[in-house]
Amino acid sequence: QGGNNAGHTVVVDGKEYDFHLFPSGIINPKAISFIVLILSDRNYVQTVKEMSVSSSESWSFSLKDWEKRLIISDRAHIVFDFHQAVDGLQEVQRQAQEGKNIGTTKKGIGPTYSSKAARTGLRICDLLSDFDEFSSRFKNLAQQYKSMFPTLEIDIDGQLKKLKGYAEKIRPMVRDGVYFMYEALHGSPKKILVEGANAALLDIDFGTYPFVTSSNCTVGGVCTGLGVPPQHVGDVYGVVKAYTTRVGIGAFPTEQINEIGDLLQSRGHEWGVTTGRKRRCGWLDLVILKYAHMINGFTALALTKLDILDVLDEIKIGVAYKLGGKRIPYFP
């Protein structure tokens, strides 16, 4: 998954779980879960707290022995508190300069991927090896952000103390990610399910840029994120609602800003799991569904929430786009 910006609601045996960082497979006591790309220091610890408390707490849940089923890649980048703070500051800046923001979840994902691309990011392997070297690089990265955002306050020593504590908690879970996947693919036969976060139209390269996330959430992310060769990718399952939704800003041709949209939103319980924002709702857009299929090559589709449309006398579907008065066969 590309970070804790996405939310996955999973219902098993009548129990509802909201996941942001952990793979959904953590519920299954027979499954090994593997986190690869982005690990938020703050969110990881919050998740650990939620994992460990009694299930009588309405806001949380309890999973037995989850630590034995979780593996973290040594190559996972770390989201720091200042990445999250900068995410918020950048949104304020965009609003002031352009009159609109991107509508990020303010979880620090964009700034962390910026650090990754600038080759100043820090990974789990850095945290677990030479802590003095890690501390030096952490201070340099913090200073870079302070120079870009003069109002940014960072408790460097406090953060490093916390991170040193986290390092010992997660050390038993960390493995060489590429070798772990190689063994999984070439050892005794296993069922391997790769879970993507965010939708195809939020992909950094193929989504409705700039209103996208920072990672590859198309099927290509399996190869680039896990180090899995393309020939190992088998079935590709597309998950699509019977209507279209979007959280935050961005193009949405079939959006219904009327009683239909309100009905889909209320009947479908369309709230962003991470932000709590109302999802924008509209008719199913087959143009973007075909586009997602062009990129991902679905071998099967899971069509969800069909029952939400039960009360409607008429159901509409977007079938084509026009550009300059002419019907076009592609997604512009």
Q: How many helices (H) and strands (E) does the chain have?
A: 10, 14
The single-letter DSSP state of residue 255 is B
Q: How much is the pLDDT for 50? A: 47
Q: Which residues pair with 243 in a beta bridge?
A: 283
CA distance 61 to 222: 29
Spell out the domains of the chain, with CATH numbers in brackets: 8-72 (no CATH), 78-172 (1.10.300.10), 235-328 (3.90.170.10)
**Backbone dihedral angles phi then psi of residue 89, each to the nearest 5 degrees:** -65, -40
Residues involved in catalysis: 116
Question: Backbone phi, then psi, for 310, in 5-degree steps?
Answer: -55, -35
Tell me the pTM: 0.84
pLDDT at 2: 59
With CA atoms as reference, report the closest residue to 79 among 48, 40, 105: 40
DSSP 172: G
Residue 18 has what pLDDT? 77
Which pLDDT does position 35 carry in this prediction?
86
Other residues' Cβ atoms within 10 Å of the Cβ of residue 35: 22
Supply φ then ψ for residue 238, to 5 degrees.
-90, 135
What pLDDT shows up at residue 66? 84
pLDDT tens per residue across all 332 residues of the chain: 556 667 777 888 888 887 777 888 888 889 999 988 666 555 555 555 444 433 333 334 567 788 889 999 999 899 898 998 988 888 887 777 777 666 677 778 889 999 999 999 999 999 999 999 999 999 999 999 999 998 999 999 999 999 999 899 889 999 999 999 999 999 999 999 998 878 899 999 999 998 888 889 899 999 988 899 999 999 999 999 999 999 878 889 999 999 999 999 999 999 876 667 799 999 999 999 999 999 999 999 999 999 999 999 999 999 999 999 999 999 99
Question: CB of 65 within 8 A of CB of 21?
Answer: no
The H or E element that residue 45 is part of is: helix 41-52
Locate 87 and state its tokens. Answer: 């995410």
CA 34 to mean position of chain CA atoms = 14
